[in-house]
Amino acid sequence: MRVPARPGALLRVSAVLGACLALLTTLLVTFGAGTASAHGAVSDPPARQYACYHRWPNGPTQQMATEDPMCYKAWQTDSSAMYNWNGLFREGVAGRHESVIPDGQLCSAGLAHNGRYGAFDEPGNWKTVDRPAQFTLNLHDQSSHGADYMRVYATRQGFDPKTQKLRWSDLELVGQTGRIATGSTTPVQVNAPGRTGHHVLYTVWQASHLDQSYYFCSDVNFTGGGQTTTTTTTTTTTSTTTTTTTDAPPRGCSATLRTTSQWNGGFQAEVRVTAGSAAVSGWAVTWTFANGERINSIWSAAATTSGTSVTARNVNYNGSLGAGASTTFGFVASGTLGTPSLTCTAS
């Protein structure tokens, strides 16, 4: 004889099944979102959302409002734009960038993801980093998607990022690559002569794994510079001879270090290496830790230590730098960073 199931038992079974389904759904959403968002961004010079997160990883503060008002506004508008600094992309563009991304919405990829990044379209006093006319732009390709191509544009002289929203007609192509099978960092050589002051760099990264197009606005202060050319003209009764000589200073480089994040017992730092007025084929940066710091991991450089002294040398893809060009490497260390003095040696 069949015994009917008790109502209480059925309710308990239903509750257990419901909890299991909820847990499975949560796991799928969590891992799916994590996978979807783990892409990348231009890290040097930093894209606006990348910079706002890495300068202020703990969110908006009064100090941010005073020192970095555009990032403060962006954090308040949508904090998820910073926590998802690596998710600024559109799918299925198929190379039609100028027709899909409207003027005035270039920095947000046409208000991608329901306008999450819309604050980055706003003109204003965005913090800049200094760059010469020629330098190396770096993309942090977090998932090693690779690139079908990358294109870097710079605003034309006369464009004012403080008052004007970015349009395609404001841009001039200043760097590009073909297909790249990348590691964690993808360098692009930029040549943007004839510019001084605050400009916007606009990078289009066409990822190779899918038809995903990424769009990044970076703020730079072009400092000019470069080699000095002297022209001497000698005239005789029969001919005129012009001799041009270029002042080529000795090969050299400089390095600066900044902390990108810190926590109890450790920190992450970035070192920028910049060639002098002559190209270099390799570099090494040396410094001494004074507070017992210890490097746990390093990328885009190879480090050796001797006691408290550290020497970081270029790897195969970032040793050659054009005149005035830059590259970066980073590391995670334990301890509390002091104020080490860096020495850069070029070859």
Write the CATH number for 295.
Answer: 2.60.40.290
Q: Is residue 238 part of a domain?
A: no
Check which CATH number belongs to the domain holding 110 and give it: 2.70.50.50
Residues 208 and 301 in one domain: no
Write down which residue in 180, 202, 222 finishes a domain: 222
Q: What pLDDT, on the 0 to 100 scale, is given for residue 46?
A: 92
Residues 276 and 179 in one domain: no
- Whether 244 shows a pLDDT value over 70: the answer reads no
Residues 292 and 153 in one domain: no
Residues 150 and 284 in one domain: no
- Whether 342 shows a pLDDT value over 80: the answer reads yes
Residues 296 and 192 in one domain: no
Is the pTM here over 0.85, yes or no?
no
- Whether 177 shows a pLDDT value over 80: the answer reads yes
Residues 319 and 176 in one domain: no
Q: Is residue 236 part of a domain?
A: no
Residues 215 and 291 in one domain: no
Q: Is residue 53 part of a domain?
A: yes
User: 306 is in which domain, residue-wise?
Assistant: 253-346
Q: Is residue 213 part of a domain?
A: yes
Q: Phi and psi (nearest 5°) for 309?
A: -90, 140
Poorest-confidence range of 10-14, 172-176, 218-222? 10-14
Q: Is residue 74 part of a domain?
A: yes
Residues 207 and 286 in one domain: no
Q: Is residue 244 part of a domain?
A: no
Residues 258 and 129 in one domain: no
Examine residue 193 and say whether the peptide bond preceding it is cis (omega within 30 degrees of 0).
no
Residues 96 and 197 in one domain: yes
Residues 112 and 171 in one domain: yes
**How many domains does the structure of the chain reveal?**
2
- Whether 185 shows a pLDDT value over 80: the answer reads no
49-76 mean pLDDT: 91
Q: Is residue 15 part of a domain?
A: no
Q: Is residue 14 part of a domain?
A: no
Residues 272 and 312 in one domain: yes
